[in-house]
Structure 1
Amino acid sequence: MSISASHVTGAVTLSDARIVGPDGIHDGWLTIEDGRITHVGQGPAPRDGHSLGGRHVVPGFVDIHNHGGAGGSFPTGDQETARDAIALHQRHGTTTLVASLVSGPVPSLAAAASSLADLCEDGLLAGIHFEGPYISKDRCGAHDPGALRDPSPEEFAGLVKAGRGHVRMLTIAAELPGALDTIREAVASGVIAAIGHSDATFDQTRAGIEAGGTVATHLYNAMPALGHRAPGPIAALLEDERVTVELINDGFHVHPAMIKLAFDVAGPGRTALITDAMMATGLSDGIYQLGAMAVDVTNGQARLVEGGSIAGSTLTMDAAFRRAVREVGLTLPEAVQVTAATPARVLGLSDRLGTIAAGRFADLVVLSSDLEVDGVMRRGIWITEP
């Protein structure tokens, strides 16, 4: 299935908009030309435009941890179904998406990365994320335990090569033999090192951060709980100003109170909401696959058929945005920061996306009064026209 969109030719002005940025909300207008925002103003538009009727406009969502949707699973490397997954998430406002793989045999990971690199070169994906295989067997969650291995800088360099410059992130357990050298290799290769699926102590986690780890893969999940004598990775990741923490805000993975606790400590500038979505996203309950593992989705909650571990989510970023406002108590500007501006910064793309400003890509989401998606624009082209 191909991704379709409503093309916009020439300059277009969106008027009567409530424009939301990390620093506030203002009533105004914006002009778009050649896929970029050229002007942003307050008050009435200087020319006739497409009236948004006072609806909110937020930057397109940026999801840095996503395994698929609409029946497509990025770990398979299948391009046709990957396009279906991308299209689904675009309709829900995610205009920038990183494809996450799960642990598997190294040749299979390399082949999937090579295939998905084509979609990166087509501009449909913002990169590839290896979530494993260098993770803890004790904290592997929905990953195949038989595919896990100790980190190797040389082996990881081969995976980076297979991704042809499009590998953006590696999740790694900092306590494993070879982990610190592999983190250094990742950073030297321009890959974000994320600490997660880890049984590390507080000190081992800090060593991983000192080696170059700058992201916490889905904080709280697949790591030891906070302890008053054994604080573990959660405390080390939360307290360090160099680390951005991912959070799955679906009301199932993490209680809203713990989302709020992490937000209060890390602040909007160090918090990135993610979906961790898997292939069942957008589909009905049933049995699905995540890598080599069978997953039972019941009432929208994904768990392994064998053992019952949580196996990703069926979350979309617009739902995460709404929950951030309604359940966690974030303001709209704060919700924009954690769903767009902060993850864009993590990817090194703040100069191109994540905020509504002149010179940025025209990646926009139009929201109704109840924060439902009424329209999505990507690179100046309507995916869904309001």
Structure 2
Amino acid sequence: MPSGEVHAWNILNRKPVIVRWDKGVITELTTTDKSPNQNKWIGPPLVDLQINGFAGVDFQQDKLSSEQLIHATSELENSGCNKFFFTLITSEWELMIKRLSKAKQLRDRNTKLQKNIVGWHIEGPFLSTENGYCGAHPSNLMLEPNEARLTKIREITGKDPVLLTMAPEIESGLAAFSKARELGFQVSIGHTNATENIIRRVTSGGQTGFTHLGNGCPTELRRDDNILWRALDNGSLTYSLIPDRWHVSPTLFRILHRLINNNSIYYTTDAMAAAGSAPGKYQFGHLELEVGTEKIVRLPGTSNLAGSALTPINCIHYASEMLRCDWQVIWKNYSTIPAKFMSLENSFEIGAPAEFVEIKTSPNNSIDTISIHSH
């Protein structure tokens, strides 16, 4: 539909709004005194910066097809997310490069994939080898983030946005953060046991993220000095959280929201192939993981988590449930805030693309249906 209008409640400010668009662009967004249907809401689509796979499709494979990517993308849209970062985790470097190159080619050949895969997240192999801090990433495959490797990532991705998660304390780590910024990457600290001083040196160089705070560290930490305290003490980081109730407990989730400026928190599912699928066995890179009915993804025989089976809309549900607030309150943490962190277009304003979610709620304000409109 090249033009049209919607009268609904604005998710971001909870006020009645009339939205009109023409030729795929929002031309009017007017707050009105006239109340719309009580259960109809409109706002920006969800944005996920860390998708390792979805709906039975593992992105960490050598035979990924266009059909598989389109399937995963369509299922993400059905859950309210129409923009995401295709994420690769630690593997043999040559395999990672081949997988990134193939995914880039598949994306560039398909209009739908170009629209939905808006960037690339490289999480590994430039991470800590310390037990507990490497998480599900194989420590024997970690590498030094030298200039040649970083440049290779940029050669493959061209001008696309790239989020690079690294541990700054490893060999050449600090220099790598500086070089990554020169190459136009957005950098994020993760799977790390960096000291307070090293974290400060990284953040002094510019905007820095912290990948899935509360994950990528041992289950037991020193109470007086640990990576959580150091990350929180910095104050200038942008933190991602996985609101699945397992990576971060409900109590810690609430505490983090009290300690951190809300505009410095964004959500991610860290989804792998089991997300949006039935319980069972799923491949995740080198690993075969079994996901039970509770949808917790663990390394076999351990208590270590390995990605999540969380869907985007459940991410919103669990986050609001843990914070004991309405889902509208935290919508921006999974839409406009991650988009801003990566300088993506995802605004809900005049002149922006006419892409939005339309939500219908039940009388108790729970989400009944969600659909994405792209005009």
Fold shared, TM-score > 0.5 on shorter chain: yes
The residue type equivalent to 1:136 in the other structure is: S
The answer for the alignment partner of 1:329 in structure 2 is 324
1:212 is displaced (CA, Å) by: 4.3
Alpha-carbon distance between aligned partners in 2 of 1:57 and 1:130, rounded to the nearest angstrom: 32
Relative distance call for 1:52 and 1:109 in structure 2 (3 A) is farther
Alpha-carbon distance between aligned partners in 2 of 1:75 and 1:279, rounded to the nearest angstrom: 9
The answer for the alignment partner of 1:10 in structure 2 is 2
Relative distance call for 1:237 and 1:297 in structure 2 (3 A) is same
The correspondence for 2:91, drawn from 90, 99, 104, is: 104
Alpha-carbon distance between aligned partners in 2 of 1:327 and 1:140, rounded to the nearest angstrom: 27
The residue type equivalent to 2:15 in the other structure is: H
The answer for the alignment partner of 1:87 in structure 2 is 74
Q: Which moved more, 1:279-288 or 1:329-338?
A: 329-338
The correspondence for 1:278, drawn from 250, 272, 278, is: 272
Q: Which moved more, 1:170-179 or 1:304-313?
A: 304-313
1:171 aligned onto 2:160: no
1:165 is displaced (CA, Å) by: 2.7
1:76 is displaced (CA, Å) by: 2.2
1:57 aligned onto 2:46: no
* 3-state SS in 2 of match to 1:301: coil
Relative distance call for 1:52 and 1:150 in structure 2 (3 A) is farther
Relative distance call for 1:273 and 1:238 in structure 2 (3 A) is same
> CA offsets, 1:230-289, max 9 Å, x none?
1x3323333434311000001111111211222222222000010000001111111111
The residue type equivalent to 1:20 in the other structure is: I
1:217 aligned onto 2:211: yes
Alpha-carbon distance between aligned partners in 2 of 1:54 and 1:73, rounded to the nearest angstrom: 36
Task: Name structure 2 gaps, 5 residues minimum.
Answer: 109-113
1:52 is displaced (CA, Å) by: 5.9
Alpha-carbon contact 1:195-1:213 (below 8 Å) kept? no
Alpha-carbon contact 2:163-2:188 (below 8 Å) kept? yes
Alpha-carbon contact 2:168-2:189 (below 8 Å) kept? yes
The answer for the alignment partner of 1:298 in structure 2 is 292
The residue type equivalent to 1:60 in the other structure is: P
Alpha-carbon contact 1:202-1:235 (below 8 Å) kept? no
Alpha-carbon distance between aligned partners in 2 of 1:342 and 1:65, rounded to the nearest angstrom: 14
1:332 is displaced (CA, Å) by: 4.3
Alpha-carbon distance between aligned partners in 1 of 2:23 and 2:136, rounded to the nearest angstrom: 42
Alpha-carbon contact 2:254-2:322 (below 8 Å) kept? no
1:192 aligned onto 2:186: yes
* 3-state SS in 1 of match to 2:305: coil
The residue type equivalent to 2:352 in the other structure is: R
1:70 aligned onto 2:55: yes
1:373 is displaced (CA, Å) by: 5.3
Relative distance call for 1:322 and 1:253 in structure 2 (3 A) is same
* 3-state SS in 2 of match to 1:162: helix
> CA offsets, 1:36-62, max 9 Å, x none?
3221122378xxxxx866412231001
* 3-state SS in 1 of match to 2:298: strand
Task: Name structure 1 gaps, 5 residues minimum.
Answer: 1-8, 46-50, 381-386
The correspondence for 1:133, drawn from 125, 137, 140, is: 125
The answer for the alignment partner of 1:344 in structure 2 is 339
1:213 is displaced (CA, Å) by: 6.0
The residue type equivalent to 1:361 in the other structure is: P
1:237 aligned onto 2:231: yes
The answer for the alignment partner of 2:111 in structure 1 is none
Alpha-carbon contact 1:20-1:333 (below 8 Å) kept? yes
The residue type equivalent to 2:11 in the other structure is: V
* 3-state SS in 2 of match to 1:200: coil
Relative distance call for 1:153 and 1:210 in structure 2 (3 A) is farther
1:183 is displaced (CA, Å) by: 0.9
The answer for the alignment partner of 2:350 in structure 1 is 358
Alpha-carbon distance between aligned partners in 2 of 1:308 and 1:226, rounded to the nearest angstrom: 15
> CA offsets, 1:118-154, max 9 Å, x none?
3554222011111100111221212223322222222
Alpha-carbon distance between aligned partners in 1 of 2:168 and 2:38, rounded to the nearest angstrom: 50
The correspondence for 1:118, drawn from 92, 98, 105, is: 105
RMSD of equivalent CA atoms: 2.2
Relative distance call for 1:331 and 1:284 in structure 2 (3 A) is closer
1:35 aligned onto 2:24: yes
* 3-state SS in 2 of match to 1:123: helix
Relative distance call for 1:29 and 1:342 in structure 2 (3 A) is same
The answer for the alignment partner of 2:11 in structure 1 is 20
* 3-state SS in 1 of match to 2:14: strand
The residue type equivalent to 1:189 in the other structure is: L
